[in-house]
């Protein structure tokens, strides 16, 4: 009698086979930047004709590049510390960053709003729903900017074209496409984490004759309606969506409601957990005690990183699924088997949910994710899967290959050409690509060295924040830092750190702070050693390609982009200790009588 197959081992085999289908030689180069001939995909639909203004020429203490949650938090913290001489620059026409740009139908926060939306206690605002809509988050950002008086400091619709270190003045000179020249002691590159939209470099993409746009620049002129309003122009039209990630699961149900014939082009099925969104309970809101937001935010971060605090305050799909960190190596065979079982059962529940919701069993099979829970970002949504029971929604499963050809009429998959009127790219954002490419300009540091040159093999930083040869240049970025699941928590912590460091330098007459190369190397080796001890190679070997693993390619650039093992909290504690110790591992230059 043969023994029945072990379902855990069988799922792992399947994951490895699915990964193999998706590994591609071109890795991150399979995507193209929204510049050159694709620049039209990047235009600002919300502020198409920025008002003319005179160029600004000034000297300030700090210039903050980016008015999203990172840049805003940095400005708020600086002004709390008494630093009022700062300038904020952003390409967008307003504050909000992600929440300025992303206005696609169905757009919502995928983290609980009570721990995602910044400064709720300071503004006295309680989100109306557990997972707030994008317009509500955007409005809240505007409210924060009003309350903390950020607007007078901001230059919007302004693109930074360069930043050069002036050694003789210990200052940066920042230039923009509006002719501004701003000299600043410190630069904060607060561009955020997911801000540079990307497009699959599909053959023939530019030949497509229908309307085409990226979700981060939704074209309501084509679809009708507006954020939070029904789309009125799509009834009867054939609309395609490329991608099935966190954005697509929110967009597809909305498109289905518009009466369009919707074609969803799938490369890798999303894992779709339970969302359970609901209005905020006013009694619960009234019961909150001062300090609640920080407490809840910390508790969530611990709950989704395997720390297992005494209680789980948020109790949602995230905390349920991520309570046990199954990506770490087991200490012995039986613990490894237990971790594998927990991971399998979590993903099996997600696959079972597809069977429970999608009526056609064959279709359900194609919508099931065969990857482990830490391999990609899990999505949570209650409308996406039921949408596939509708007659006007069609799944085009490419079985891991992706769309690789588009004609004047539309995408071709297998032998079939899908003629479409509208093609929407829910294809995500650059995460692990070259930093200066994402920054949009190439900072020039000490002795004329370009950052693209110094970073040609990947990131060189102390804490992911400072970099040698670029004194006083600070970054809120993923590489060599601790982004975690709740990005708002991470950017809030790093912004606070940067503001504290800058305020301390200004107060104590430090005009230059620059890490040593030795301190950078030590930091990197520490991150590598901790990652090697805490993450399982075996687990990673069965992970499908995504932006989590540099599309499955272990290049040197990706290796240097390592993140802190553990969560944002011990990382933030480490930064606080480092500040208290007087910035070890840096060279500090103090003000002298000659300092300009
Ligand atoms: P993702 O990078 O997660 O998804 C991109 C999708 O495009 C993937 O499904 C990918 O397939 C697919 N794709 C790429 N190329 C092709 C191709 N040639 N043919 C077919 N499909 C293709 O981007 P998202 O915008 O969905 O999400 C990015 C991140 O943004 C999320 O992980 C999340 O962090 C954040 N987000 C946050 C929200 C929030 O509320 N806080 C809401 C939405 C997004 P494959 O999976 O095979 O690579």
Task: Name the residue among 478, 436, 456 with its Cα closest to residue 562.
Answer: 478
Contact status, residue 296 vs residue 314, Cβ threshold 8 Å = yes
What are the structure tokens assigned to 259, written together? Answer: 């009466």
Q: Establish whether residue 113 lines the binding site of ligand 1, counting it when its CB lies within 6 angstroms of any ligand atom.
A: no
Q: Establish whether residue 112 lines the binding site of ligand 1, counting it when its CB lies within 6 angstroms of any ligand atom.
A: no
34 band by pLDDT with thresholds 50, 70 and 90: confident
Which ligand 1 atom lies nearest to the CA of residue 215? 25
Q: How far is the CA of 545 from the centre of ligand 1 (A)?
A: 12
Highest-confidence range of 176-180, 526-530, 532-536, by mean pLDDT? 176-180
Q: Of the residues 104, 199, 243, 550, which should be mutated to test ligand 1's pocket, given the most ligand atoms within 8 Å of the CB? A: 243
Q: Whose CA is nearest to atom 14 of ligand 1?
A: 427
- Give the Å distances, CA to CA, from 310 to 78, 307, 494: 34, 9, 26
Q: Whose CA is nearest to atom 5 of ligand 1?
A: 427
Q: What is the pLDDT of residues 537-549, one digit of tens each?
A: 888 888 887 767 7
Q: Establish whether residue 68 lines the binding site of ligand 1, counting it when its CB lies within 6 angstroms of any ligand atom.
A: no
Q: What is the pTM of this model?
A: 0.95
Q: Establish whether residue 242 lines the binding site of ligand 1, counting it when its CB lies within 6 angstroms of any ligand atom.
A: yes
Q: Whose CA is nearest to atom 35 of ligand 1?
A: 246
Q: How far is the CA of 418 from the centre of ligand 1 (A)?
A: 21
Mean pLDDT over each residue of the chain, to the nearest integer: 94
Q: Whose CA is nearest to atom 4 of ligand 1?
A: 245
What's the pLDDT at 556?
A: 76
What are the structure tokens assigned to 585, written together? Answer: 């591992």
Does residue 1 have a pLDDT over 60? no
> Greater confidence, 596 or 213?
213
What's the pLDDT at 437?
A: 79
Contact status, residue 208 vs residue 221, Cβ threshold 8 Å = no
Q: How far is the CA of 129 from the centre of ligand 1 (A)?
A: 24
Contact status, residue 219 vs residue 243, Cβ threshold 8 Å = no
Residues 6+ apart with CB under 8 A from 95: 67, 68, 72, 141, 142, 144, 145, 150, 151, 154
Residues 6+ apart with CB under 8 A from 450: 436, 442, 443, 444
Q: Whose CA is nearest to atom 2 of ligand 1?
A: 428
Q: Establish whether residue 424 lines the binding site of ligand 1, counting it when its CB lies within 6 angstroms of any ligand atom.
A: no
Q: Establish whether residue 451 lines the binding site of ligand 1, counting it when its CB lies within 6 angstroms of any ligand atom.
A: no
Q: How far is the CA of 425 from the centre of ligand 1 (A)?
A: 9
- Give the Å distances, CA to CA, from 276 to 111, 239, 273, 294, 354: 12, 28, 10, 23, 16
């Amino acid at each position: 009698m043969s023994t029945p197959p072990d379902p855990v081992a069988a799922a792992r085999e399947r994951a490895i086979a699915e990964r193999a289908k998706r590994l591609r030689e071109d890795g991150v180069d399979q995507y193209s930047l929204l510049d050159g001939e694709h620049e039209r995909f990047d235009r600002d639909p919300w502020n198409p004709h920025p008002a003319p203004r005179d160029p600004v020429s000034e000297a300030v203490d700090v210039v903050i590049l980016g008015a999203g949650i990172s840049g805003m938090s940095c400005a708020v913290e600086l002004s709390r510390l008494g630093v009022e001489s700062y300038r904020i620059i952003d390409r967008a026409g307003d504050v909000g960053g992600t929440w300025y740009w992303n206005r696609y139908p169905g757009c919502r926060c995928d983290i609980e709003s009570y721990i995602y939306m910044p400064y709720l206690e300071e503004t006295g605002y309680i989100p109306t729903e557990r997972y707030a809509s994008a317009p509500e988050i955007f409005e809240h950002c505007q409210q924060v900017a009003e309350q903390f008086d950020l607007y007078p400091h901001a230059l919007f619709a302004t693109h930074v074209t360069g930043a050069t270190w002036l050694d003789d003045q210990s200052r940066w000179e920042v230039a923009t496409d509006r002719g501004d020249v701003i000299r600043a002691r410190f630069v904060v590159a607060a561009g955020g984490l997911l801000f540079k939209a990307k497009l699959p470099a599909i053959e023939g993409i530019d030949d497509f004759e229908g309307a085409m746009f990226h979700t981060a620049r939704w074209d309501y002129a084509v679809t009708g309606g507006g954020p939070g309003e029904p789309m009125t122009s799509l009834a009867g039209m054939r609309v395609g969506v490329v991608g099935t990630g966190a954005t697509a699961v929110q967009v597809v149900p909305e498109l289905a409601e518009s009466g369009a014939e919707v074609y969803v082009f799938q490369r890798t099925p999303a894992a779709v957990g339970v969302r359970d969104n609901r209005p905020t309970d006013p009694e619960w809101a009234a019961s909150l005690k001062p300090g609640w937001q920080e407490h809840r935010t910390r508790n969530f971060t611990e709950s989704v990183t395997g720390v297992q605090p005494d209680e789980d305050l948020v109790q949602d799909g995230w905390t349920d699924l991520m309570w046990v960190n199954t990506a770490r190596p087991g200490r012995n065979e039986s613990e490894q088997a237990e971790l594998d079982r927990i991971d399998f059962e979590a993903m099996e529940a997600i696959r079972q949910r597809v069977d429970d919701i999608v009526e056609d069993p064959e279709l359900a099979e194609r919508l099931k994710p065969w990857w482990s829970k830490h391999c990609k970002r899990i999505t949570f949504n209650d409308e996406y899967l039921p949408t596939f029971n509708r007659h006007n929604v069609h799944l085009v499963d490419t079985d891991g290959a992706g769309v690789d050809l588009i004609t004047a009429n539309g995408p071709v998959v297998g032998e079939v050409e899908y003629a479409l009127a509208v093609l929407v790219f829910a294809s995500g954002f650059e995460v692990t690509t070259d930093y200066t490419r994402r920054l949009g300009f190439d900072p020039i540091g000490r002795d004329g060295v370009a950052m693209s040159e110094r970073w040609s093999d990947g990131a060189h930083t102390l804490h992911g924040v400072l970099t040698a040869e670029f004194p006083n240049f600070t970054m809120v970025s993923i590489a060599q830092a601790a982004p975690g699941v709740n990005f708002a928590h991470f950017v809030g912590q790093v912004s606070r750190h940067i503001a504290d460091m800058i305020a301390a330098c200004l107060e104590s007459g430090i005009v230059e702070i620059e890490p040593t190369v030795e301190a950078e190397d030590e930091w990197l080796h520490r991150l590598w050693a901790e990652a090697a001890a805490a993450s399982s190679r075996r687990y990673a070997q069965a992970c499908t390609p995504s932006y989590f693993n540099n599309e499955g390619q272990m290049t040197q650039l990706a290796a240097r982009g390592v993140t802190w093992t553990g969560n944002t909290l011990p990382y933030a504690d480490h930064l606080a200790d480092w500040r208290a110790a007087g910035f070890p591992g840096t060279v500090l230059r103090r003000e002298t009588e000659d300092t300009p």
